[in-house]
Chain A
Amino acid sequence: MGIIVKISGPVVEAEQMRDAKMYDVVRVGEEGLIGEVIRLAGKRVAIQVYEDTAGIKPGEKVENTGAPLSAELGPGLATSIFDGIQRPLPVIKDRVGDIIKRGVFAEALDKKKKWKFVPSVKRGEKVETGDVVGTVQETASTLHKVLVPSGVSGEISEISDGSFTVEEPVFAVKGAGGTKRLPMMQRWEVRRPRPYAQKLQPNRPLVTGQRVIDAFFPVARGGSACIPGPFGSGKTVTQQQLAKWADADVVVYVGCGERGNEMTEVLTTFPELEDPRNKRPLMDRTILIANTSNMPVAAREASIYTGITIAEYYRDMGYAVALMADSTSRWAEALREISGRLEEMPGEEGYPAYLGRRLAEFYERAGSVVTLGKGKKEGSVSVIGAVSPPGGDISEPVSQNTLRVTRAFWGLDASLASRRHFPSINWLTSYSLYKDVLADWYSANVSADFMEMQSKSMLILQQEAELQEIVQLVGPDALPERERAVLDAARMIREDFLQQSAYHEVDTFTSMKKDRMMLKVILTFHDLELKAVESGIPLSKVLSLDVRGRIGRMKEIPEDAAQADITKLLDDTEASFKSLAPEMQAGATEGAR
């Protein structure tokens, strides 16, 4: 048992702890606050405490549990809301009321609840780590697979069928070291990545239902993306949109040092929303980790590890998992604060020198993998991290280190947000390095010409940026008609395609098929508009065509009517140009089809 000798914010130092190992979980002070060993230096041990340390005195005791910080993994995770060290917030509320108090010990999974376990192996079957021995219908949309835990292999000597708690043994494995009777639940150290058989090259997108992402800057399943942006630019809304509409089987949402009301919003809206693919409540596939800004910083540091461990666990069942972390900057600040209390030599802007390594280690836990076990299951964890750079300037260490390890970059822009262009993803600075590996998928699943339409649209937007510089000097009226037609097309792409309201019941989600049709209409209009202008028709006539208003409202067309309505709009577009200029040859429109 150790004795506290110093308290400084979330960091406590203790002596007389000879048995302490790095990352051991300890109980601090008379109240037994939860902490973790983070430095061993001579006879002094530094501990980060996951709860408020006010009132603690030198001389109080520290007890070592000898075990590292671990997550409980098993049925009951889905629909839960935990704090950063996986304590269920509803249980804390029941115990101490509406204000979180320290010293509450609450286990992650409900140990009394019985789950119906359906075996999928027979006695005598050979199993190894990662194999599925049975399933539990965890929620209407999540089939929880019970996996053989790490280090266990051999022959099934017992297998149950029926209802059990997560701790009751449901199967036994006879191996080299004897027979092990095992429950549905397992534990895993949060700071250690869960192993897999093989990492795969990502080859399909995480379809998000957000046009600017799916069409222009896709993230692959098993890939990583970052969203940097100043306050109020839309990081949280974008992440919540992905949590709602991305085609993942399981979503882990880590609210890491952000607002309490944002977690409440997820808790109140998700149960009412349904997955557009299977019509089941979105909450059924969602796990929330809420360690808000005013909750202890050390637990904030731990929260992203708790989150990604849960994500990897579902990945190991063969699921596509998406993890959102809002915001990794607050995680980095927690790291900085603890490092400062340890009086470590500060690196850039006071962040510890190991910031870059820790960020890289975290994002490396994303990936598309072949899991352990005989089934060769394929699962993935996609990671989307928000970054909150001071003043919105991404030349700071957290943004820069994140850019190095993530492959899709969605740069949010204050000037777009202030004119209510949402999502305020800047189309000129953002990028996705997944475009090339996903090209085949797009050709096969959306359309052969999709990539071409995408680069064509991008080109128009780039031309717009160049033309805008000229306009700044001479005014728009001085531009030739042809250039003004380009500005017009760019405006259509921006307003009628890129802008997407999270709050409009239809607009909030768009399928890739509809993305393609919308772009098709806009690009066709533009081709015809260029031809019209070239044949001497004034642009003002083109701009007053009736179809333009309808193009502006394509986003409001519900998915099930999209095919018919947008095809009709495409025909009408061509027809209205014909009526505009009967002399325009029919052949002229051929290229657009």
Chain B
Amino acid sequence: MSEIEYTSVTRVAGPLLFLEGVNDAGYNDLVEITLPNGETKNGQVLDTSAGLAVVQIFGTTTGLDLPNTRVKFKGETVKLPVSDAMLGRIFNGLGVPRDGGPRIVSSERPDISGGAINPYSRAEPSEFIQSGISSIDLMNTLVRGQKLPIFSGAGLPHNDLVAQIARQAKVLGKEESFAVVFGAMGLTSEEANFFIKDFENTGALERAVLFLNLADEPSMERIITPRMALTTAEYLAFSQDMHVLVILSDMTNYCESLREVSSAREEVPGRRGYPGYMYTDLSSIYERAGRIKGKKGSITQIPILSMPGDDITHPIADLTGYITEGQVVMSRDLHRRGVYPPIDVLPSLSRLMNQGIGKGRTRDDHRGVADQLYAAYAQGKDLRSLSAIVGEAALTETDRVYLKLADKFEKEFVSQGKYEDRTIEDDLRIGWRLLSALPQGDLKRVKKDFIDMYYKPQAASPS
């Protein structure tokens, strides 16, 4: 590969540089850009044709000019040196140390875009992760190798929730090596510090790798950050046999950067200006979770995204939901009423739940109890809005039972402390206590045997 430097930048538009007279730019190859003041930046080839290359710059274009900016094509795609010395380290959004430590040197330098795991090589995720949070463990069970995002909104306590999951998550009956990889895109330094502190306090920091792109850092880096995090996670999971939890926050900022590049390229915009290929692009991030047959490690992903306007049909939440294996949805209404964690179980879902629960995993009545609580809570909530119009007096006797159940479900089941680590047995006990208030004939989702075993109407009344 010729290491020629080009000075033929003819146009700068947003984060894009247009170069003429370039013939050997490989598609998606890494680019090094030297500004007139000697500062260097990285970029990536987005489009290449005989005589013209379009380069996306990771960073700001401040100080860039046309005649003196030098551009070098590196002849390879973006790669990240990985090793287990990364544990306990903090990097910036492009993988450069920001903790004062040395750069990572390694002969293993995987391409950060990763490849698709062969569907035939995947192993089915089926190990129950107990997060200690009732509305997740009983209602939307997380399993190892799953990708389960948190749909949140500005000002909701998603960081507390994720930190709590990271603190409490365990696979029952197992002591295995685990790691946390954290990819921050556009987080405030306060939020980043919250996580660092929390990891420090629990001693998790030495098992963690952090890639931080903060709110005041170049938005273009955010396209790279999650890929750095996942490349590291893949190395730890599939070469080092670790169970890796990847937290990506905030995916909304990532998507915004994607939109910025797309509009600079004058592409036909899709919904709300996001590019039409955003589904495919997001899948190249989210699908990098899972288990592989014959490998010990796993990658579990918890991406966080804030839904603009709390709108679950917004393209970012919508496309994410179409790719991930469920979602945990936070509710402003519950938050306002002081419920922590304010998880609205109705729109929440874990698609891999069935693989992880039941006899020998959690308990054999798990599925039925969860389904019954869903149905009952949904009915109670409907009645709540009905009684707001017609008054509670216009409801039937049974309706009032459901109305009360919905309240108790939020107060006694969903609500818990930030440091309260409930077991699945605790969750089931609370679940049955609530269900025991219902007429026995209504419990159609639970098998008869379990009703005989756990349904105790006397125990239901005191509260």
Contacts and interface: CB of A to CB of B under 8 A. Distances in A.
A297 B121 contact: no
A346 B276 CA distance: 12
Given A294-B284, A391-B318, A473-B389, A89 B118 contact: yes
A264 B119 contact: yes
A5 interface: yes
A290 B277 CA distance: 19
Contacts of A116: none
A210 to B, nearest CB: 18
Contacts of A58: 23-25, 48-50
B325 A261 contact: yes
Nearest to A345: B268
A475 B394 contact: yes
A220 to B, nearest CB: 30
B48 A93 contact: no
A531 to B, nearest CB: 22
A59 interface: yes
Contact of A420 (B321, B323, B375): B375
State the main secondary structure of chain B at its contact with A: mixed
A7 B48 contact: yes
Interface of B: 23-29, 47-50, 76-77, 111, 113-125, 145, 238, 267-271, 276-277, 279-280, 283-284, 287-288, 290, 292-293, 295, 313, 315, 318-319, 321-323, 325-327, 346-347, 349, 351-352, 354-355, 367, 371, 374-375, 378-379, 386-387, 389-391, 393-396, 399, 440-441, 444-445, 448
25 contacts: A7-B27, A8-B47, A55-B77, A58-B25, A89-B118, A90-B120, A93-B118, A99-B116, A99-B117, A259-B323, A260-B117, A261-B122, A293-B279, A293-B283, A337-B276, A337-B277, A340-B276, A390-B271, A418-B346, A420-B374, A472-B389, A475-B387, A495-B444, A503-B354, A553-B444
A8 B271 CA distance: 22
A590 interface: no
A87 B116 CA distance: 15
Nearest to B358: A503
B27 A55 contact: yes
A34 to B, nearest CB: 16
Given A7-B49, A55-B28, A59-B24, A292 B378 contact: no
B50 A59 contact: yes
Nearest to B234: A99
A54 interface: yes
Interface centre among B27, B327, B352 (most CB of A within 10 A): B27
B296 to A, nearest CB: 13
A100 B269 contact: no
A263 B287 CA distance: 13
Contacts of B292: 98
A260 B290 contact: yes
A90 B293 CA distance: 12
B403 to A, nearest CB: 12
A357 B104 CA distance: 54
B378 A418 contact: yes
Given A89-B119, A261-B125, A350 B268 contact: yes
A297 B238 CA distance: 26
Contact of B115 (A57, A99, A265, A393): A99
A13 interface: yes
A51 to B, nearest CB: 11
Contacts of B123: 264
Contacts of B378: 418-420
A264 B323 contact: no
A391 B117 CA distance: 28
A293 B347 contact: no
A93 B120 contact: yes
A59 B23 contact: yes
A548 B439 CA distance: 13
Nearest to B346: A418
Contacts of A221: none
Closest 8 CB pairs of A and B: A475-B394, A391-B313, A6-B49, A293-B283, A419-B378, A475-B390, A231-B321, A54-B28
A439 to B, nearest CB: 32
A294 B281 CA distance: 8
Contact of A231 (B23, B287, B318, B387): B318
